[in-house]
Amino acid sequence: MSKTNNEVVVKLFTSRPNLSAKSKEVAHLLKINNHEEYQSLRSTLHKLVESGALNFDLKTGYKLNSKKIDKKGILKLLKNNIGIVALQDNSEVLISSKNIFTALDGDEVEINIFSKSTSFNNKIYNEGKIVKILNRGKHVFIGTIEKSKKATFVVCDDKKLKRDFYISKEFELNSNPGDRVVVEFIEWESEDFNPEGKIIEILGKAGDPFTEIKSVLRAYNLTPTFPKVVESEVAQFTNTISEKELLQREDCRKLNCVTIDPVDAKDFDDALSIGQTNSNSFELGVHIADVSFFVKQNSELDFEALSRGTSVYLANQVVPMLPERLSNNLCSLKPETDRLAFSCFIKFENGKIISHRFSKTVINSKKRFTYEEVEKILDSGKGKFTVMISQLWDIASKLKKERFKKGGINFETLEPKFEYDSFGKPTEIFIKHRLKSHQLVEECMLLANKLVAEEVNKYIISDEAPPFIYRVHAEPEKVKLNTLKVFVSKFGFNFNLTKNIHNELQNLLNQVENKPEENIVNEITLRSMAKAIYDTVNIGHFGLAFKDYTHFTSPIRRYPDLIVHRLLYYYMTKNKNNKIPQLLYSLEELKEISKHTSQREKIAQDAERDTIKIMQLEYMKNFIGEEYVGIISGVLNFGFFVELEQTLVEGLVPVRNLKDDYYEFNEQNFSLIGRRTGRTYRLGDSIKVKVISVNPESRKIDFAIINPSEPFKGLSNKRKK
């Protein structure tokens, strides 16, 4: 009976839906007298409870779970191997680690939902068990080869995958221990065994920075090259603008347009112009590359751009959304070259906006500026375009002042920047600081984006605003704001939860400006905010304090901007008495595009962060034993992280290396406290550390605390620019 216990027991309870019985009563009903069969029955009953087929109560025993529901959804694994399955009705089901089965993160699964509810992370979930894997969400993994005498395994980078891949000899592909490889999933049928895979690519030796960069590209499925069909489509474009096209556009080639970009930029999305119309009036021109002229809807190029969603700016390279012939040439607003643009003209009178309009144009940029060159002009007041740059800065300053007055929040986050040798290895790390020139460009772009969203809202379809993609930023959750309040109070900063939360957040950022804790408080404040995403529902942008906002100004590198270009021009030209005859995109199509591009943006950010870490590790390999000043950037029970002041490199001080005392983790005060000495290491504290080890393979750096009595030999606190 052991093989049929499950079916027999389920049949018994389903034939008697109201039956409640303990194990001995069930045995009696099934006429089981043998001790061995009885133990097998008890095991079966336990498994049926785990699967959700039966419920168990100490008083009444086992009973059919009539509320058991089978549903499908996508599994998301958390770090502790607890799973959340998102169902099609947008509800979520909690899956404990013992009920994960052989499912992997991203798999489409079938689950049994239990009748009971469970609390997890301050939220109530129905709990379930995965009973079937319908589709694997991921088929390719990145990892490192490890070999024993009898077997070959791949230890995967994905921390959510708790088991190593077993690789049979026929699928080893001449790999050696320590090789970074790409593994293709074959199968995983039983929890009693490891998943099986085959090596499809050897990337190089683990720890080599270029191998690690390759690993990031493969892990996030980022491809620098384009399909042949796309390259063929791009090859058909000519370098000249036809006379017919010129006649259909507003000719702005005589305008003094300039581009302002990073020194290493190759794609120039935007140009600016400004002209004085009378003694009190100016007209600002924001000219954006007309990518939609080349990338036609439903073309192969369009499908590829949508798939990529965004250009990805890694530490040492760019993975573009569009082929180089477009992104760096035909679409790029290169100096002294006629280029097609979609322009926004804004008239100011006595510093106030009095009107604006949009037009398809042809422009000719007169100068390609770097941010540093514009900064010098603003500081010195000297240069060929001094008057123009000064006028742009005057308008940008007023726009920024007005934006903050209405509640805009000024987040200043620091980013590392690398210098490389001829071999492509980092020789220096600097901190990128926001200049006045950055703010000048930013304010003009923010204004254009805002005006586009407002413009589209003027058009009406069936008494509603037409389908559109907005850039939205939801208000922060009160729970997260309360956590932020507690956090900053530990450092002596005030953060009040009043109705005017915009002002309170800006007040907090003003308090920490130029303080040692500035970067950490800014980072934690950002984490308290919702993530800005693309959506068809216009809820406004909290961080900018804009009621209407979209992305229009970077169509070379962001797909939503390209869609916005198409939609705006379509609504402008098809508009009849504020009525649109038909749709260019349905609302459902735009919803899918918004969701997909938001996900691609997150992937791009994660990939960029990973490559920055790789280059920081490569740089720090040369400084083992060196001493530095840093800020404690994270505290956990196993140690605390320190971020170095000058390079933003982060490493761990393991608690096991704190030999002077036994340190206990105080979660409420974000600190480790010595039981005997009371010595405290708290989040935000300035500290002196020595580099002990750098492990590029595990992407980890270990620091040690320098004895406070010893003289400090490291660099100064001042960040290098």
Report if residue 714 sits inside a domain: no
Other CB atoms within 10 A of residue 171 CB: 18
The pTM assigned to this predicted structure is 0.85
429 CB-near residues (< 8 Å, 6+ apart): 416, 417, 418, 419, 616, 619, 646, 647, 648, 649
Q: Is the dihedral of CA 385, 388, 394, 400 positive or negative?
A: negative
Please enumerate, as own/partner, the contacts of 88-95 that have beta carbons within 8 Å and a separation of 24 or more: 91/126, 92/125, 93/125, 93/126, 93/127, 93/128, 94/118, 94/120, 94/125, 94/126, 94/127, 94/128, 95/127, 95/128, 95/129, 95/130
**Among candidates 105, 84, 235, 90, which has minimal Cα distance to 159?**
105
For residue 315 the two structure tokens come to 């530490």
Three-point CA angle 510, 439, 528, nearest 5°: 45
- How confident is the model at residue 73, as a pLDDT? 93
Do 326 and 190 belong together in one domain? no
Which CATH number belongs to the domain containing residue 667 in this structure? 2.40.50.140
CB distance 666 to 678 below 8 Å: no
**Among candidates 468, 471, 472, which has minimal Cα distance to 585?**
468
Which CATH number belongs to the domain containing residue 188 in this structure? 2.40.50.700
Report if residue 160 sits inside a domain: yes
Do 19 and 126 belong together in one domain? no
CB distance 669 to 490 below 8 Å: yes
Report if residue 720 sits inside a domain: no
Domain that holds residue 102: 69-135
Give the number of C-alpha atoms closer than 13 A to the C-alpha of residue 560, restricted to the C-beta side. 27
Strands 179-187 and 196-205: antiparallel
Report if residue 212 sits inside a domain: no
Report if residue 220 sits inside a domain: no
- How confident is the model at residue 170, as a pLDDT? 94
What stretches in the chain show pLDDT beneath 50? 1-4, 709, 711-712, 714-721
Residue length, the chain? Answer: 721
- How confident is the model at residue 68, as a pLDDT? 59
Query: From start to end of 408-565, where are the E strands?
Result: 415-420, 426-432, 470-472, 533-535
- How confident is the model at residue 712, as a pLDDT? 47
Phi, psi dihedral angles at 352 (to 5 degrees): -110, 145
Do 384 and 499 belong together in one domain? no
Do 393 and 313 belong together in one domain? yes
Distance CA 711, CA 308 (A): 52
Name the 3-class secondary structure at 51: helix
Report if residue 717 sits inside a domain: no
Other CB atoms within 10 A of residue 92 CB: 16
Do 45 and 173 belong together in one domain? no
CB distance 188 to 593 below 8 Å: no
CB distance 59 to 22 below 8 Å: no
- How confident is the model at residue 287, as a pLDDT? 98
Do 300 and 349 belong together in one domain? yes
Count helices and strands (H / E) in the chain. Answer: 16, 33
**Among candidates 491, 500, 495, which has minimal Cα distance to 482?**
495
Which of 558, 578, 608 marks a domain boundary?
608
356 CB-near residues (< 8 Å, 6+ apart): 344, 345, 346, 347, 451, 455
Do 469 and 548 belong together in one domain? yes
Do 557 and 422 belong together in one domain? yes
Name the 3-class secondary structure at 274: strand
Which CATH number belongs to the domain containing residue 39 in this structure? 1.10.10
- Per DSSP, 213 falls in state H
Which of 464, 495, 529 marks a domain boundary?
529
CB distance 662 to 676 below 8 Å: yes
Do 493 and 541 belong together in one domain? no
Distance CA 700, CA 695 (A): 5
Report if residue 234 sits inside a domain: yes
Do 255 and 394 belong together in one domain? yes
Q: Which amino acid is at 429?
A: I
For residue 48 the two structure tokens come to 């049926």
Which of 108, 135, 162 marks a domain boundary?
135
Do 283 and 360 belong together in one domain? yes
Report if residue 331 sits inside a domain: yes
Do 343 and 468 belong together in one domain? yes
Number of domains in the chain: 6
